[in-house]
Amino acid sequence: MEATQYLRIALVFLSLVIFSRFSFAASKSSGFSIKLIPIDSSESPLYQPNLTHHERVERRVNITLAKAKLTKLRFTQNATFSDDKLLSVLDRQYLFYIAYMMIGNPVQPVYLMVDTGGHLTWTQCKPCINCFQQSYPIYNSQASSSYHRVNCDHPLCNYNEPSSVFRCVNGDCVYTITYGDGPTASGPTKGYLSSESFHFTNRDFDDEEFTVLFGCSNDNINFNFGNQPSNRISGILGLDLDPTSLVSQLHETIGGVFSYCIVPYDQNYPFDVHPHILRFGDDVQLPEGNIPTTPFISFVGRSFYYLDLIDISVGRYRLYLPPGSFDATLGHGILIDSGNPFSTLTTSSTSGLNVFELVTTAFSLHYDSYNLVRVLPHPTSNIRFNLCYVGREGFRDYLPLTYHFQGADYVVHSRFVHMEFNEGFFCVALMPSPFASILGAYHMQNMRIIHNTVINAIQFYEEECASDHF
Same domain, 303 and 441: yes
Q: Is the Cα dihedral 62, 437, 3, 216 positive or negative?
A: positive
Instruction: Give a yes or no: residue 271 inside a domain.
Output: no
Same domain, 230 and 305: no
Instruction: Give a yes or no: residue 276 inside a domain.
Output: no
Contacts of 254 (CB under 8 A, 6+ apart): 29, 31, 32, 247, 280, 281
The domain total for the chain is 2
Encode 207-225: b = buried (16+ Cβ within 10 Å), e = exposed.
ebbbebbbbbbbbbebbbb
Backbone angles phi, psi at 362, to 5 degrees: -60, -40
Instruction: Give CA separation, 51 vs 46, 55, 461, in Å.
Output: 12, 6, 33
Q: Could you tell me if 244 and 119 are in contact, meaning their C-beta atoms sit under 8 angstroms apart?
A: yes
The kind and range of the H/E element at 53 are helix 53-75
Same domain, 370 and 455: yes
Q: What CATH number is attached to the domain comprising 384? A: 2.40.70.10
Within 303-424, where are the H helices? 355-368
Instruction: Give a yes or no: residue 278 inside a domain.
Output: no
Within 221-286, where are the H helices? 246-249, 251-254
Instruction: Give a yes or no: residue 189 inside a domain.
Output: yes
- Structural domain that includes position 132: 3-261
Instruction: Give a yes or no: residue 106 inside a domain.
Output: yes
Same domain, 189 and 309: no
Instruction: Give a yes or no: residue 173 inside a domain.
Output: yes
- Burial environment of residue 348 by CB neighbours within 10 A (0 to 12, 13 to 18, 19 or more): middle
Same domain, 354 and 242: no
Q: Express each pLDDT in 203-234 by its tens digit.
A: 677 788 999 999 999 999 988 777 777 888 99
- 84 or 198: which carries more pLDDT confidence? 198
Instruction: Give a yes or no: residue 96 inside a domain.
Output: yes
Q: Which of 261, 278, 306 is the last residue of a domain?
A: 261
Q: Express each pLDDT in 351-382 by its tens digit.
A: 889 999 999 999 999 999 999 999 876 555 56
Q: Express each pLDDT in 139-182 by its tens digit.
A: 999 999 999 999 999 999 999 998 899 999 999 999 999 876 55
Q: Express each pLDDT in 265-285 by its tens digit.
A: 764 444 456 677 888 888 888
- Burial environment of residue 380 by CB neighbours within 10 A (0 to 12, 13 to 18, 19 or more): exposed
Same domain, 364 and 411: yes
- Radius of gyration of the chain measured on its C-alpha atoms: 22
Instruction: Give a yes or no: residue 281 inside a domain.
Output: no
Q: What is the Cα–Cα distance from 451 to 461, expressed in whole angstroms? A: 12
Backbone angles phi, psi at 146, to 5 degrees: -100, 5
Which amino acid type is present at position 309? L
The kind and range of the H/E element at 355 are helix 355-368
Q: Could you tell me if 429 and 413 are in contact, meaning their C-beta atoms sit under 8 angstroms apart?
A: no
According to the per-residue pLDDT averaged within each range, which of 195-204, 338-347, 408-417 is highest?
408-417
Question: How many other C-beta atoms lie within 10 A of the C-beta of residue 463?
Answer: 15
Q: What is the predicted pLDDT for the residue at 11?
A: 35
Q: What is the Cα–Cα distance from 415 to 421, expressed in whole angstroms? A: 13
Lowest mean pLDDT among 114-123, 164-173, 297-306, 418-427: 297-306
> Does 450 have pLDDT greater than 80?
yes
Q: Which of 261, 282, 314 is the last residue of a domain?
A: 261
pTM higher than the cut 0.85: no
Polymer length of the chain:
470
Q: Express each pLDDT in 11-49 by its tens digit.
A: 333 333 333 333 333 344 468 888 888 776 777 776 666
Contacts of 129 (CB under 8 A, 6+ apart): 190, 218, 219
